């Protein structure tokens, strides 16, 4: 992992894996260790992105197809990169993002059972992101039945229901989980897969250990 600039760490996984909680806990630990960092997310890491997020994660699941979705997620990503991620990394600030481009491959390609072309997604990546990649991608892995139940329970307490993808059925979610595992197997130096069917504290310990190993910054001191 490179160290001269900030590190870019992404959290990935299906629904209800606890990504946002774990990201926040990691951000706190880094802060305490004196490492400047920002916590962000896709879609919606910027003001314009928040508007795209509303379109993408609420409402009828069939209101647009996978190609349109991929384009909108990439528009959000471009603004996120240029306005927030790249400037922060240049400053030496670490960036922790709840989802990035692997989500598009997992959801729009594997989730939809490969109905859109991987070539198109590769081209979009090159056009929008170029050679840039996360330094570390942590996949929080959980049985979709457990994750979806958690996520639906959480959404009942939310005023705006962000459940457009949750409503796609188990096959979609099983496909995307398998997709993430395939991506991780192909690029083990960037990915780490952690079992997310654990307590918040246990998973946080696993994440601290992993980030310490990969970044050479010891976050596990008591
Ligand atoms: P989340 O904040 O709960 O992760 O919600 C974001 C939703 O958007 C989630 O269902 C995954 C989905 N998504 C995609 O389908 N493709 C993408 O590229 C991204 C970033 C998210």
Q: State pLDDT tens for residues 69-127.
A: 999 999 999 999 999 999 999 999 999 999 999 999 999 999 999 989 999 999 999 99
pLDDT value for 222: 58
Mutate to test the pocket of ligand 1, among 57, 120, 129, 169 (most ligand atoms within 8 A of CB): 57
- Residue 168 Cα to ligand 1 midpoint, Å, equals 13
CATH number of 12's domain: 3.40.50.300
Query: β-pairing, 37-41 with 94-98?
Result: parallel
Exposed e or buried b per residue across 145-164, where buried means at least 16 C-beta atoms within 10 angstroms of its C-beta: eebbebbeeeeeeeeeebbb
For atom 7 of ligand 1, which residue has the closest CA?
57
**Closest CA to ligand 1's atom 9:** 165
Does 191 fall in a domain?
Answer: yes
pLDDT of residue 87: 97
What is the best residue among 107, 110, 176 to mutate for testing ligand 1's pocket, by most ligand atoms within 8 Å of CB?
107
Regarding the beta carbon of 172 and ligand 1, being less than 6 Å apart is answered no
In a domain, 86, yes or no: yes
pLDDT value at residue 4: 66
Q: What is the pLDDT of residues 52-72, one digit of tens each?
A: 999 999 999 999 999 999 999
Distance CA 216, CA 112 (A): 38
Confirm whether 2 is domain-assigned.
Answer: no
Give dist(CA 204, CA 186) in Å, integer: 25
Helices (DSSP H) in 37-190: which residue ranges? Answer: 47-57, 66-80, 86-90, 101-104, 118-128, 144-155, 170-186
Residue 102 in contact with ligand 1 by CB distance below 6 A = no
Instruction: Answer whether residue 221 is part of any domain.
Output: no
- Structural domain of residue 116, as residue ranges? 8-215
In a domain? residue 182: yes
The overall longest dimension of the chain from CA atoms, in Å, is 50
Neighbours of 191 (CB within 10 A): 20
Quick: pLDDT tens for 11-52: 999 999 999 999 999 999 999 999 999 999 999 999 999 999
Q: Evaluate if residue 2 carries a pLDDT over 60.
A: no
| Predicted local distance difference test score (pLDDT) of residue 120 | 97
Give me the pLDDT at residue 206, please: 98
Per residue in 149-180, pLDDT (tens digit) is: 998 888 888 888 888 888 888 999 999 999 99
In a domain, 1, yes or no: no
**Ligand 1 atom having least distance to the Cα of 101:** 18
Nearest CA to ligand 1 atom 5: 57
**Ligand 1 atom with the shortest distance to the CA of 151:** 3
Looking at the structure of the chain, the number of domains it has is 1
- Sign of the four-CA dihedral 15, 107, 130, 138: positive
**E-strand spans in the chain?**
8-13, 37-41, 94-98, 136-141, 191-195
pLDDT digits (tens, 9 = 90+) for 181-222: 999 999 999 999 999 999 999 999 999 999 999 998 999 975
With H, G, I as helix, E, B as strand and everything else as coil, classify residue 87.
helix
């Amino acid at each position: 992992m490179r160290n001269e600039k900030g590190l870019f760490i992404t959290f990935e996984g299906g629904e209800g894996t606890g990504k946002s909680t774990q990201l926040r806990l990691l951000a706190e630990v880094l802060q305490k260790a004196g490492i400047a960092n920002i916590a962000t997310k896709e879609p919606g890491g910027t003001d314009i992105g928040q508007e795209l997020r509303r379109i993408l994660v609420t409402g009828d699941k069939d209101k647009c197809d996978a190609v349109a979705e991929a384009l909108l997620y990439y528009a959000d990503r471009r603004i996120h990169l240029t306005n927030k991620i790249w400037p922060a990394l240049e400053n030496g600030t670490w960036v922790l993002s709840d989802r990035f481009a692997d989500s598009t491959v997992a959801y729009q390609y594997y989730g939809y059972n490969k109905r859109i072309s991987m070539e198109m997604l590769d081209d979009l990546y090159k056009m929008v992101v170029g050679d840039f990649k996360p330094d570390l991608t942590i996949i929080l892995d959980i049985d979709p039945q457990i994750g979806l139940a958690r996520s639906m329970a959480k959404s009942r307490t939310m005023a705006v229901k962000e459940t457009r993808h949750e409503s796609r059925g188990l096959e979609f979610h099983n496909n995307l989980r398998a997709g993430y595992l395939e991506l991780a197997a192909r690029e083990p130096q960037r990915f780490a897969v952690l079992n997310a069917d654990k307590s918040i504290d246990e998973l946080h310990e696993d994440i601290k250990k992993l980030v310490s190993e990969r970044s050479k910054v010891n976050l596990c001191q008591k």
